[in-house]
Amino acid sequence: MTSRIERLLLVVTPAAAMATVALGLRVGAGSAVRAAVVYGAPASGAGTGLAWQVVAFDEDHGFREPAPGLALDVTARPEEGLGRVDPTPQPPEARPPREARWHGVTGEDGAAEMQLPSAHPAAYLEVRAGEALLAVGDVAVPEGPALAREPPASSWASFARREGAVRLDVAVLGQRVATGFPARLWVRATDATTQAPQAGVTVEAERDSSFLPAAARVTTDTRGWAQVVATPVGHAVSVVLHATAPGGRAGEWAGGLYVSPGAASLALAERVAPGEEPVIDVVVPTMRTTAYLEVDDARGRAWAAVVPVKAGAGEMPRATVHAPPLAPGLYWAVEAGDPSGASQLGPGSMARPFFVAASDEAALAFGTDRETCAPPADPREAGRVVSTCLALAGATPVPRWTALDGVAMQRAHDAARRRRGLAIALGAILVAALLEGLLLLKASRSARASLRDALDGEGEGSEGAGGPGRGVGRAWTVAIALLVAMMGFALMAAFLARAG
């Protein structure tokens, strides 16, 4: 009976070990996870809190799919997690709130723009979708140069040719144009020798297939400025301007415009009064149904939204958006076709500057060019000066960083699960190897006992029956079986260690 059980164990042990290994591998196997990544941005001076972005997605074996229409709940705590304590006593009204909450729904790209009602950086974030935890942990904040904004590019359009006694310079509102939508170009005429502004200069724009001016000619004002409204067509737009001064002097400017392919049209007031909501009209020239809109200032990100756009009969997709009231200052409304487009101001993005001020004169104080934004001698020209002042306000992307990575959290959980599965599989192999070794060693001892009995036997009959030879052969068989079993278990353990 004992011999039968041992033989049964010799057969069943490897099978049981394989089944346990398979169970361990299943326990440690990776699976599709739903996670979220929070992208931080510096706070603005608008008094609107933190405008951060959350992107939720499903990841399976390195492939990510956005999670649209997902209801998210975010909890931010300014003092937990990193354990930051301000040693300077503060009155209760100046202390940051203990907790800030936000609720929103992701768009078609799995992105949502959250507005945390606090200007203090959050130290701890928790992102949930119902009961599922998508991201949690301390907020990562880069230091020093990582948060530095790039200086804005020159607002003056580049030229290939500029000649004549009348010198022309061209500034494009927003520094870029969108094909198919009217663009506003501000042309400044000065004396080529003295650099003095030239009033009464007639500026004529050549009309061709890529540049369609609304008027044949315009005239500069007392400060030497004239506005040319034209519609660019295509992605390579060349502009040729001819200037004629009252005394017969002339000048010419030829250059190109920076076209942002697929960019939307943004329309809003150049000046908004404090306490009023900026109203932004967005028109999208493509078939996309979502626009990513944000408002930035020189310090950071003031507000952002994922805007659904809809097309009416015979119209392009459009939407009208109301931003929250902002503190006085200079701002840029930025639109992009993807969640990260506004952070780069690359193709498909559009920027429009505007002021928040009580009057045109107050708005000029926020201008970036001191000479152009100087208050005019005639107050009636203040509105026109505001326009030229905005044309020289170059936009620059607001830096972003990964504040919280839920994928890292999910990968840590997967790693712990893999370790548990590997421990189960290797433990099963170890137990099976020990049991198999014990059984084979016992069989080997039985073989050696049989060999001794055969050697002690008398008579040629037992030798003729092959007693000693048979015992030696059985011992060798058991030894080989033991070595093969150990090698098989060792190879399986090596494979699991490599796979883990």
**Per-residue pLDDT tens over the stretch 101-143:** 899 999 999 999 999 886 566 688 999 999 889 999 888 877 7
In the structure, what pLDDT confidence band is assigned to residue 144 with cuts at 50, 70 and 90? low
Query: Do 214 and 197 share a domain, yes or no?
Result: yes
Higher pLDDT, 149 or 394: 394
The reported pLDDT for the residue numbered 463 is 47
- 371 part of a folded domain: no
Select from 384, 413, 442 the last residue of a domain. 413
The reported pLDDT for the residue numbered 81 is 44
In the structure, what pLDDT confidence band is assigned to residue 306 with cuts at 50, 70 and 90? very high
Whether 9 has a pLDDT exceeding 70, the answer reads no
The reported pLDDT for the residue numbered 6 is 61
Whether 482 has a pLDDT exceeding 60, the answer reads no
- 390 part of a folded domain: no
**Per-residue pLDDT tens over the stretch 408-422:** 776 666 666 666 666
Query: Do 143 and 222 share a domain, yes or no?
Result: no
Query: Do 68 and 128 share a domain, yes or no?
Result: yes
- 271 part of a folded domain: no
Query: Do 255 and 158 share a domain, yes or no?
Result: yes
Query: Do 46 and 81 share a domain, yes or no?
Result: yes
Whether 395 has a pLDDT exceeding 70, the answer reads yes
In the structure, what pLDDT confidence band is assigned to residue 396 with cuts at 50, 70 and 90? confident
Query: Do 138 and 40 share a domain, yes or no?
Result: yes
Whether 176 has a pLDDT exceeding 60, the answer reads yes
- 267 part of a folded domain: no
Token pair, residue 57, equals 């997605």
Query: Do 407 and 447 share a domain, yes or no?
Result: no
**To the nearest whole number, what is the mean pLDDT of the chain?**
82
Torsion of CA 162, 165, 166, 168, to 10 degrees: 20
In the structure, what pLDDT confidence band is assigned to residue 180 with cuts at 50, 70 and 90? very high
Select from 210, 241, 259 the last residue of a domain. 259
Determine contact, residues 98/74, Cβ cutoff 8 Å: no
Mean of pLDDT values over 188-194: 95
Q: Range of 477's domain? A: 2-28+417-499
CATH code assigned at 59? 2.60.40
The reported pLDDT for the residue numbered 95 is 45
The reported pLDDT for the residue numbered 473 is 53
**Per-residue pLDDT tens over the stretch 18-46:** 666 666 555 555 567 889 999 999 889 99
Query: Do 21 and 39 share a domain, yes or no?
Result: no
Whether 1 has a pLDDT exceeding 50, the answer reads no
The reported pLDDT for the residue numbered 407 is 81
CATH code assigned at 175? 2.60.40.10
- 247 part of a folded domain: yes
Give how many domains the chain has, as a whole number. Answer: 3
Whether 200 has a pLDDT exceeding 90, the answer reads yes
**Per-residue pLDDT tens over the stretch 207-234:** 998 999 999 999 999 999 999 999 999 8
- 167 part of a folded domain: yes
Higher pLDDT, 485 or 88: 485
- 448 part of a folded domain: yes
- 460 part of a folded domain: yes
The reported pLDDT for the residue numbered 161 is 95
* Percent over 70 (pLDDT), the chain: 70
**Per-residue pLDDT tens over the stretch 310-335:** 988 888 999 999 999 999 999 999 99
The reported pLDDT for the residue numbered 124 is 87
Whether 251 has a pLDDT exceeding 90, the answer reads yes
Query: Do 87 and 130 share a domain, yes or no?
Result: yes
Mean of pLDDT values over 471-499: 54
**Per-residue pLDDT tens over the stretch 373-385:** 999 988 888 999 9
Select from 382, 413, 444 the last residue of a domain. 413
Query: Do 127 and 62 share a domain, yes or no?
Result: yes
Query: Do 230 and 178 share a domain, yes or no?
Result: yes
Q: Give the C-alpha distances (Å, rounded to integers) separating 431 from 438, 494, 497.
A: 11, 16, 16
Query: Do 6 and 46 share a domain, yes or no?
Result: no
Reduced 3-state DSSP string for the chain: CHHHHHHHHHHHHHHHHHHHHHHHHHHHCCCCEEEEEEEECCECCCCCCEEEEEEEEEEECCEEEECCCCEEEEEEECCCCCCCCCCCCCCHHHCCCCCEEEEEECCCCCEEEEEECCCCCCCEEEEEECCEEEEEEECCCCCHHHHCCCCCCCCECCEEEEEECEEEEEEECCCCECCCCCEEEEEEEEECCCCCECCCCEEEECCECCEEECCCEEECCCCCEEEEEEEECCCCEEEEEEEECCCCCEEEEEEEECECCCCCEEECCCEECCCCCCEEEEECCCCCCEEEEEEECCCCEEEEEEEECECCCCCCCEEEEECCCCCCEEEEEEEECCCCHHHCCCCCCEEEEEEECCCHHHHHCCCCCCCCCCCCCCHHHHHHHHHHHHHCCCCCCCCCEEEEEHHHHHHHHHHHHHHHHHHHHHHHHHHHHHHHHHHHHHHHHHHHHHHHHHHHCCCHHHHHCCHHHHHHHHHHHHHHHHHHHHHHHHHHHHHHHHHC
